[in-house]
Amino acid sequence: MPKVLMPLGDATEVLDTMYAFYRLPEDDFEPVVAGPEARLYHQVLHEIPPSGEPPWDITQERPGYHIRATVAFRDVDPTEYAGLFVSGGRAPEYLRYDQDLLRITRHFFEADKPVATLCHGIEILTAADCIRGRTVTTVAKCAMDAQQGGATYVDRPCVVDGNLSTARTYHDNTLLLKNFMRMLKEAADG
């Protein structure tokens, strides 16, 4: 079964992550979770509360499920993977400093393998200098991160540019995964 790498850390967003984690095996791709260390990680739920006084203008964070990384970034051989799926949440804010993760990320772009990301995941792609000259989407509060990475930001549910499929938030998971699965299958059929 071809493997898809899913890098994450504490405060990765539950719906960003779990939708892909369970969707990939439906088409015979094995999700492999990687983290700074091979251990259990805390996921979080992000949503703007539908009500509240005073109202929230940014997402509220609550504890979510846990997920186990079976490999540390430093031990990942990216040549063993068919694709890369980068979740959002707060995790990318600190993961983007991990040089092993940046090395891994660059491999997927250099090898023209399928990559999907949503929400704050764009911060990792920007730090790895992989989106320069591309058109991408992401959550609106990360538009500047995309632009600082040399990309053109557009506010659309999902954008495909070459080997890269991007989406805004977990609300766009269906379109993101539809495109990513198509890309993975086309690459596998070669």
Which active-site residues does the annotation give? Answer: 119
Q: Is the peptide bond before 7 cis (omega within 30 degrees of 0)?
A: no
The distance from CA 12 to its chain's CA centroid, rounded to whole angstroms, is 9
CA torsion through residues 150, 83, 189, 160, sign: negative
Angle, alpha carbons 130-105-91 (nearest 5°): 100
For 65-122, what is the HEC assignment?
Answer: EEEECCEEHHHCCHHHEEEEEECCECHHHHHCCCHHHHHHHHHHHHCCCCEEEEHHHH
